[in-house]
Amino acid sequence: MSDPASPSIAPLVVQGVTKRFHQGTATVEALHGVSLRVAPGEFVAVMGASGSGKSTLLHVMAGLTRTDAGTVAVEGQSLSELADGTLTDFRRRRIGLVFQQFNLIPALTALENVMLPLMAEGSRGSQEMRDRATKLLERLGLGQRIGHRPDAMSGGEQQRVAIARALVTDPAIVLADEPTGSLDSINGKAICTLLKELNDRDGRAIVVVTHEPAVAIWARRIVVMKDGAVCADFSAAEFPDAHALAGRYQDIVAGTAAEVAR
């Protein structure tokens, strides 16, 4: 494993990844030869329609699904080299995960949910852990909701708790799977604003998987997937708004735009 302290180490490198699933006697290749490099401080949106392979790619990048070919490296550490238990520990410490459905524990408060990744390290309930989780929640505008359980919070507040939980171990990269999918437009925009702030102010490396141009436009770079492969890769700065991006995206998916992946 390379030294993660080196500034040249990319938070995430996907190289030639193939993933197959078996459905009865048939084999479906969800990913074939996908490569993607996320540089330090980069904010990447991976777009694609249902069945394009974008969610499978996120699960592979997160180490939730093993590859059939190719490699995924986080801070220079190849995930395929890690045994299951070691991979679970590494993922908890170095990969921050945010999902559409929040995945909070109903019986725990906001503070306790954020502390969960730290508790797995063995120092249950230490003051340092509580202080770290509290400061994150306060920064994300949840200082008054620390003692509330998920059922007493709005969807937007629950997603902020989930983001705080993803950040509490100071991971190398944050991976978000349709993070606004369960939210209304106002809360969805607030979550996009938050992710953009984390990238701009903290230099967080972030990858968001989405099918929504209104979400992808907040990123710095946009990667489009189709039929299990990357078919386009361009800067979000090319587009004045989400409507313009939606037009390009539809052209790419329809096969009418001459796009060349990097």
Residue 228, phi-psi category: left (phi > 0), alpha (psi -120 to 50), beta (remainder): left
- For the beta sheet containing 95-98, the strands, ordered from the edge strand earlier in sequence to the opposite edge, are 95-98, 173-177, 206-210, 43-47, 221-226, 229-235
pLDDT given for residue 5 in this prediction: 44
Structural domains in the chain, CATH included, are 12-254 (3.40.50.300)
User: With bands split at pLDDT 50, 70 and 90, how would you rate the model's confidence at 118?
Assistant: confident
* Residue 23, burial from CB neighbour count under 10 angstroms (0-12, 13-18, 19+): exposed
Q: Please state the pTM of the whole predicted model.
A: 0.91
User: With bands split at pLDDT 50, 70 and 90, how would you rate the model's confidence at 4?
Assistant: very low
pLDDT tens digits for range 40-85: 999 999 999 988 999 999 999 999 999 999 999 999 999 999 999 9
User: With bands split at pLDDT 50, 70 and 90, how would you rate the model's confidence at 24?
Assistant: confident
